[in-house]
Structure 1
Amino acid sequence: ALFRPVSMVVPDLALICEIMLMAEGFQMSKILSRKFVILYKLCEDLLSKSRHYDWKLRAIKTTLYVAGGMKRAAPELSEDKVLLRALRDFNLGKLTSDDTSIFMGLLNDLFPKTLELVPRAIDRVFEGKIREAAIELGYQPDEMFLLKISQLRELFVVRWSVFLLGPAGCGKTAIWRTLMKAQLALGEKTIYRPVNPKAVTRNELYGNLHPATREWKEGLMSVTFRDMSNNKINKHQWIVLDGDIDAEWIESMNTVMDDNKMLTLASNERIPLTASMRLLLEINHMIHCSPATVSRGGVIYVNAEDVGWKPVVDSWIEKLEVRHVSGPGGMPL
C-alpha cells in the first residue's frame, strides 16, 4: 500500500461502535460493541442476499443513535436490554418473512433469556389514533398492518429518506395514508406531494438551463423542494416518489439522502432539506439501486403475506353491506 498512489482503509467497526456507545452514555460499551458487530457480521453472512439489506457503517450509526434515544427514554432498563430493543425494533421492519426467524434466533443467542423480558416500546395514544384512522379510511386494523405504520413513523424520526418496499397490492399506499391521517388526528399537520419520477424526463424532474439563452426552467422536484423548504407551518412534509428507481434520476438525489441534506440543481442553487421534510420512495424492488443509494435510506419491507388478501376482502364486504343497507340512489331501505 505504501507504493500505491491511493490507499483504502476498511473502518474498524468495533472501535467506532464502542466510542459511539460510550458517547451515548453506555458504560458497558466494550462488551456491547462486540455483540453489536458480531450480530451485523452474522446478518451479512447468514441472511438472504436481498438488495435492500445494508449492514454497513451507515446502518450501524443510525441504530446506535436509536439506542441512545431509547436509553434516555427508559433509564430503568439495563444497557443490554436497551441495545437489544434498539437492534430488534429498528431492524425487524426491513427483514423479509424468511429472514425474521433467523434474525430473532441470532438475537436470542447473543442476548440469552432476555428477548421475552423486553417488550416493544409502544406509544399507546398514537397507536389508538392509528387504529381510528385505519377504520375511518375503510381499512382493517390488522395487527401487522398497524405494526408497519408504527415502524414507518419510528423510522421517519431518524431517517429523512425511507424506502417503502414490497410487491404491488401489499398495502404500501394504505400504510402511509393511514399514518398521515393519524398524525393529523393527533394535531401534527402533515402534507404530501406525490411525484412519479418515471413519468417525466430528467430535465422536467430537476429543471434545466437552456443551452443557448442560459435561461433556467424549473422542474417538479425543484419547485416542490423550494415550496416545502420555505414552509415553516407544517410539522411533517413528505415528498412521495411513487415510481421505479433507476440510476438516471436517483443518483441526483444522493446529496439529499446523505448527511448534506441538499438538493443541488444545475443552476448551482442549493435547496436544503428542512427538519420537517421527508422523502418517501414507494417502490416494489431495488434491483437497479447502487449500494450507495441503499445505504442512504431506511427501509420498511412489506411482505406479500403481511397484510394478505383477507383484510381487502373484509373491507370490500363492508362496503357492499353499506351499499345494500342504503339501497339504490342512497335512499335508506
Structure 2
Amino acid sequence: MIFPYKFLVHSTDYGLSIDENLDDGKILLLPSQIQKISNLILILCYQRDVVQNLITAVNKMERKHKAMNLFEWLMQMKYYWFDQDQECVIKSLDAKFEYGFEYQGSYTRCVVSPLTERCFVCLNQAIHYHLGGLCLGPAGCGKKETISQLTIMLGKPFYNFNCTYAINHNLMVDIFKGMAGTGAWICLNNIDNLDVHILSLASQLLSAIFYALKTREEFITIENETIHLVPTAACLSILVDNPKANYNKLSLRTGYFPSSTSSTAALPKCLLDLFRPVTLVNPDIKQITEVLLTTHGFNYAPQLTKQLLAFKNLTEDFLHMPAMIKDTATYEISKPFAKSINLIGTMTEDEQRKAEEEALVIAIRNNFVPRLVEKDGSLFAMILTDIFPAVDVPIIVDNEISEAIAVSLSKKYLQPGPIFTSRVLQLAQLVSIHRYILLVGPSGCGKSKSIQTLSGAYSEMGRTVNLQPINVRSIARTAFFGQFDSITEAWKDG
C-alpha cells in the first residue's frame, strides 16, 4: 500500500525508506506499518470529534467558567500518569481504573462513535460498582467489538467464552476461578444458550465474587478452594436481540409459552440482578465509513461516504439481496477493500478525486457482483453508474488464472462456459479477500464444481491447496465443533 508522503513526515526517523522506483512523495510500507499508521489516524479522528463536541457544548453554556463540569467532558476516558507511584489511572465520571499494561500488539481498532462512547460509560459505571455489564442488541451492531475495544483502552487481559452446550459445572467453576485469581475481564457470549442449572451456578459464583469485591476481601473460597482475589476482575456478557429465538428457548426450558420475548426473558432474575444492561442499536454507518476511508488514505472521505450511503439505500430498495448483506453493505465496502487501494499523492485535485472513486468502484464491484442473482446484474450496473457517473472502469481479467481455470475444466472433461468461468473468477476474488465464504444456490447449479475447479486452477498455478469436503449432516455436532470431556476435563477439538 502507498500512502501520500505528507502523512509520513516523521516516518523516516523510524527506519522507513523511500523506494527509488516510486514517484516522489510516496513511501512503500509494510503491512504492520500500515496497521500502525491507520490506528494513529483513527485515534486522531476520534480526538477531533471529541474536541468538536466539546467546543459545541461549551458554546451553548451561559457560564463558560464551569466548562470543566460538563458531562461531555466528564464522560470521556481521561488518562493520568503519576510519577510518584509510577502508575497510569483512567477516570470516567466517578469511575476510576488502573491501566493494566496488557500487551495488545498492533491490533485493529474499531471506530469509536457516540453509541460506543455511551456504551463505555455504562460498562465503566457497572464495573465501578462491582456489577456485570450486559450488552444487548441485534446481530452485527458491534457488541463484542465494543467490549474488546474497552478492554484494550484500559489495558486489561480479556477472554471471550462462547457459551454452548459444552460448558458444564466444572468448566464454569474453572472460568470464574480464573477470573477471580488473575483479575482478568471475561465475556460470556450468548449466555442464554446455557442450561438452567449452569445459569444458576453462574449466578451463585458471580454473587459471591461481586460481594467479595465490594467488601474488599483479599481471599475468596470457591468450591472449597481458597483463591487470592485480584480486585480488577470483571464479568461482561452479550445477548443477541432475537425475539423468535428467545421465545423458543424459554418455551423449551419452562414448558409454557411466555408472554415476553425480550432478550433477557431467557435468563433467571437472580442472574439479571447482577448485570447492568446496555442496549446497542444500529451503528452509525456514516461516521464509521468516513473514518475508515480516512484511515486508509482517502482524501475525499466525506464526499465518498455520501455516495456509498446512497448506493446502500438504492441496493436495499431495488436489489434482491439478503437482509444481512444489506445491513452491512457500506461497512464491508469500506473496511476490507480500502486496505488494498493504492492512492497517488502527486495527482491534481480532480485527478485524485477520480482515482479514489475508481478505486472505490472496483472495491464495490469485486465485493457485490458475486452475490447478485442474474436478473440483478444489469440493475446493479445502472445504480453504480448513477452514483459514480464520472467513473468508467473496465473489468480486468487475470489471464493467468483464466488459463488455469480452462486447464482445470479440461482435465475434468467440462466445457469452459463463460458464465461458469466468470463465477469461478469471482470466487477467486473473494478467496483472496475473505477468510470464510458461503456458496448459496439450488442443487445442481455448480457450487461444488466451482470449488473443485478453483482448487485445480490453483494447483495448475503451483499453489498448494488442501481441499477437504465435509458433510456436516453425517457428523455429530460434538465431533464437528469439539467437546469438553467431563471425565478428563480436557477439551477435544473438532
Matched letter for residue 131 of structure 1: A
Q: Displacement of 1:164 after TM fit?
A: 1.0
Matched letter for residue 383 of structure 2: L
Q: Is the 8 A contact 2:294 2:301 kept in 1?
A: yes
Q: Is the 8 A contact 2:343 2:355 kept in 1?
A: no
Residue from 101, 104, 111 that aligns with 2:388 = 111
In structure 2, the partner of 1:205 is 480
Matched letter for residue 90 of structure 1: N
Do structure 1's residue 44 and structure 2's residue 321 form an aligned pair?
no
Residue from 87, 94, 97 that aligns with 2:374 = 97
Q: Is the 8 A contact 2:312 2:329 kept in 1?
A: no
Aligned residues: 215
In structure 1, the partner of 2:197 is none
Over residues 19-52 of structure 1, what are the superposed CA-to-partner deviations in whole Å (9 max), with x where a residue is unaligned? 111211111111111101111122123222646x
What is the rounded CA distance, in whole Å, between the counterparts of 1:177 and 1:111 in structure 2?
36
Q: Displacement of 1:55 after TM fit?
A: 2.4
Map residues 29-108 of structure 1 onto 2, 5 A cutoff.
29-48=301-320, 50=322, 53-57=324-328, 60-71=331-342, 78-108=355-385
In structure 2, the partner of 1:136 is 411
Residue from 265, 277, 287 that aligns with 1:15 = 287
Over residues 109-163 of structure 1, what are the superposed CA-to-partner deviations in whole Å (9 max), with x where a residue is unaligned? 111253xx31123222122111111112111111221111111111112211100
Matched letter for residue 65 of structure 1: P
Map residues 180-329 of structure 1 onto 2, 5 A cutoff.
180-211=455-486, 213-214=487-488, 218=492, 222=493
Over residues 173-193 of structure 1, what are the superposed CA-to-partner deviations in whole Å (9 max), with x where a residue is unaligned? 111111111111111111111
What is the rounded CA distance, in whole Å, between the counterparts of 2:488 and 2:472 in structure 1?
25
Matched letter for residue 331 of structure 2: I
Residue from 276, 297, 305 that aligns with 1:25 = 297
CA 204–68 in structure 1, closer or farther in 2 if over 3 Å, else same:
closer
Gaps of 5+ in 1: 224-333
In structure 1, the partner of 2:85 is none
Do structure 1's residue 178 and structure 2's residue 459 form an aligned pair?
no
What is the rounded CA distance, in whole Å, between the counterparts of 2:455 and 2:343 in structure 1?
27
Q: Is the 8 A contact 1:207 1:216 kept in 2?
A: no
Q: TM-score, normalised by structure 2?
A: 0.40
Do structure 1's residue 160 and structure 2's residue 435 form an aligned pair?
yes
CA 182–63 in structure 1, closer or farther in 2 if over 3 Å, else same:
farther
CA 215–20 in structure 1, closer or farther in 2 if over 3 Å, else same:
closer
Q: Is the 8 A contact 1:26 1:79 kept in 2?
A: yes
What is the rounded CA distance, in whole Å, between the counterparts of 1:209 and 1:19 in structure 2?
42
Matched letter for residue 42 of structure 1: L
Q: Displacement of 1:7 after TM fit?
A: 3.8
Q: Displacement of 1:210 after TM fit?
A: 4.4
Over residues 258-311 of structure 1, what are the superposed CA-to-partner deviations in whole Å (9 max), with x where a residue is unaligned? xxxxxxxxxxxxxxxxxxxxxxxxxxxxxxxxxxxxxxxxxxxxxxxxxxxxxx
Matched letter for residue 104 of structure 1: A
Gaps of 5+ in 2: 1-114, 123-275
Q: TM-score, normalised by structure 1?
A: 0.57
What is the rounded CA distance, in whole Å, between the counterparts of 1:90 and 1:153 in structure 2?
12
Q: Is the 8 A contact 1:209 1:216 kept in 2?
A: yes
Asked which structure has the greater RCO (Cα within 8 Å, sep 6+), the reply is: 1
Over residues 218-240 of structure 1, what are the superposed CA-to-partner deviations in whole Å (9 max), with x where a residue is unaligned? 5xxx35xxxxxxxxxxxxxxxxx
Q: Secondary structure at the match of 1:139?
A: coil
Q: Secondary structure at the match of 1:6?
A: strand
In structure 1, the partner of 2:86 is none
CA 68–131 in structure 1, closer or farther in 2 if over 3 Å, else same:
same
CA 112–188 in structure 1, closer or farther in 2 if over 3 Å, else same:
same
CA 125–154 in structure 1, closer or farther in 2 if over 3 Å, else same:
same
Q: Secondary structure at the match of 2:282?
A: coil
